[in-house]
Amino acid sequence: MARSCGLRIGPRRFELVVLDGGAKKHKITAYMAGELPRDADDPIASAAAILRDAVKQHNVPLDNVGVAIDTGLAAFRTLKVPFADKDKIEDVLKFEVESQLPQWNVDDVVADFMVLESTGDSSELLVTAVPKADLRNIISICEKAGIEPLEAELETTAMVNAAMTGSLCTVDNAQVLVHIGETSTSVVVMDGGKVREMRAIHIGAMSHEFPATAVEPEAGVEGADAAVTPEVQPTVDPVEIQRRLDQAIKRIRRELGRTVSAARTVHPIDGVYVCGLELPGLAGSRILDAEVRVLDVFEADGGQPAQGFGPLVVAYGVAVRLLGGGTLRPSLRREELRYSGAFERVELPLAVVALLAVTFLGVWFIFLSRERDAVNDNLGFWRDTARAYVLGEPAKGRPGYLQYPSDRAKDYITNIAQDEERGPFDQIRRANTILQDDIKKLEKDLGQDAEIKQPQSAFTGMTLVLETLGKQVGGSVRPSLRTVQATYQAARSQKPEHVKVDLNMSFLADDSYTATQAFDNFTRDVRAEPWFLEFSSRQSDPVEGGRGIYLGNVSIDVDVSKVSQLKDSQ
């Protein structure tokens, strides 16, 4: 069975879900939710240590891990482009969205997109932009924990994949999906099983908490010049904390109300489905006309906890996607981030292998160069010897092999060493080509051109038919030929060239039945021959006295060239 692990790493917490099974049928075999350290000296190393312990404790499959990051890090933009091809969209995406992201340098973000609507000549896109530095921090935590996530995505897309797996979003309804994080809330508007809108509300379930502060040591106390004492929680009035929590809940409800009222959906919104951290009084209430419900995407007895499963929904959506489930395929691990961690681990071995390969190729090149020079010297001697043999040495009174060479052959062979565009071997091949051309020209002048194709022999075609007919002689059967005519037929659009053999014949035997059998055997034998093209005959007539049959106008088309091809192959 396939196994996968989904992670959600937020600013203050993490969740982990391990699935075992397939895209449609699977079960949760392990899950965990935990806190990440606040205000540590090295927050990445501290978070990695906690995550490393969780990975070991729950036997996470290291080869199939994905991660979801805080939606509050991203910006969402709607964009229209005048084409629908995804490769073209990839090429122009950053240029088109650059003007809509004034807060960032477009080279410092990873831009991903989702097609909302597409026609033949245009597309409406939902573009997601995440700073590379923030994404790199999340990937670094995973790598230091000993895992390499195959893909990274936002909480919004993981939540949608989880809802689609739970059959919540169908083609005949609309919903608002909400994930409440520590410091941000993810919102997705679904209509007819498709994403219509994504946004982030920059307030979450822990936004009301006061941050930890550092306290300076008193003067005169031993070690006063040391570092300040970290993570000292200030004394806060519980009434003030409750007031801030109430304000956070009201703001989230107000923003969700704006989303519901402004949603442009074909179907009416049947509810607001909430997951993530729990906010008092939110689930079970109403926002405008929509009831707020818990986003439950898990099957009965699917391995999830009986209570408090809301924070696991996003991590579950990541794990489901790795098993092939869900409908969205976002990709934030693109560009230089995709395989950076893997490359860093093999960078030194690859450098050593590359150096050894370059050294080996250099030595090999030296040996090949020396061998090539030796071969060229031998070929040069062969070329000069061939030239002296073909043209002779007139100055020494030595005649050549060619008594009357053509001007073209004589000029090239005489100056063959001056052909700088070719090496010695190619020079010899060029001279041979010129001589062969002269030979063919002389053969044509003498009428010995082997390229002229002779017509098929009518006599050969008639002989092939008669040899087949001779197989029927035996016992009481005796073929009788009245006329035999073989005619050559030139090639036409429907038939190749062939020989047409016309027969007027009789099959004599003790009775008509035996004669008919002999004719059928003759027909079968002719059709089995490789040279056979077509067979036609009229109805037979009985011979007077019932001792045979008469056949007029039997026509057989023979391709004599097939016989020559068969002999050549043998």
CA distances from 88 to 93, 99, 102, 122, 413 (A): 8, 19, 24, 11, 57
Q: Which residues contact 225 (CB under 8 A, 6 or more apart)?
A: none
317 within 8 A of 218, measured Cβ to Cβ: no
Q: Quote the pLDDT of residue 566.
A: 64
Q: Please list, residue by residue across 336-364, b when 16 or more beta carbons sit within 10 angstroms of its beta carbon and e when fewer do.
A: eebeebeeeeeeeeeeeeeeeeeeeeeee
Q: Looking at the DSSP assignment, which residues form a beta bridge with residue 478?
A: 508
**How is domain 2-215+229-338 classified at the CATH fold level?**
Nucleotidyltransferase; domain 5 (3.30.420)
Q: Which of 456, 342, 438, 354 lies closest to 390 in space, CA to CA?
A: 438
Q: How far apart are alpha carbons 223 and 71 in whole angstroms?
A: 43
Between the alpha carbon of residue 121 and those of residues 81, 83, 196, the distances in Å are 9, 5, 20
Dihedral in degrees, nearest 10, Cα atoms 327, 332, 337, 340:
-30
Structure tokens at 166: 């739970």
What pLDDT shows up at residue 53? 94
Distance from C-alpha of 235 to C-alpha of 224, rounded to nearest angstrom: 23
CA distance 387 to 493: 51
Query: Which residue in 88, 75, 251 sits closest to 156, CA to CA?
Result: 75
With a CB cutoff of 8 Å and minimum separation 6, the contacts of 380 are 417, 424
Q: Could you tell me the residue ranges of all domains in the chain?
A: 2-215+229-338, 348-445, 458-569
Q: Distance of CA 55 to CAs 12, 58, 137, 191, 411, Å?
A: 18, 6, 18, 37, 82
Please give the single-letter amino acid code of residue 318.
Answer: V
CA angle, 465 then 466 then 467, to 5°: 90
In the prediction, which pLDDT does 57 show?
Answer: 92
Give the model's pLDDT for residue 219.
46
- Residue 456 exposure: Cα atoms within 13 Å on the Cβ side: 28
Given this model, what pLDDT does residue 234 score?
Answer: 57
Per-residue confidence (pLDDT) for residue 337, from 0 to 100: 45
Interacting residues of 203 by C-beta distance below 8 A, sequence separation 6+: 183, 184, 185, 248, 251, 252
Q: What are phi and psi of 176, to 5 degrees?
A: -115, 115
Q: Return all residues near 337 (Cβ < 8 A) that are at least 6 apart.
A: 110, 132, 135, 136, 139
Q: Are 125 and 86 spatial neighbours (Cβ–Cβ below 8 Å)?
A: no
Identify whether the C-beta of residue 322 lies closer than 8 Å to the C-beta of residue 66.
yes
Element (H, E) at 499: strand 498-508
Give the number of other CB atoms < 10 A from CB of residue 138. Answer: 23
Question: What Cα–Cα distance (Å) separates residue 24 from each residue in 71, 166, 169?
Answer: 27, 10, 16
All residue ranges of the chain with pLDDT < 70 are: 210-236, 335-345, 449-452, 565-570
Residue type, 240: E
> Does 1.10.10 match the CATH number of domain 458-569?
no
CA angle 156, 160, 165 (to 5 degrees): 150
- Per-residue pLDDT tens for 461-514? 999 999 999 988 888 889 999 999 999 999 887 888 999 999 999 999 988 889
Residue 567 has a pLDDT of 64
The span from the CA of 304 to the CA of 312, in Å, is 9
Secondary structure, 3-state, 415-431? CHHHCCCCCHHHHHHHH
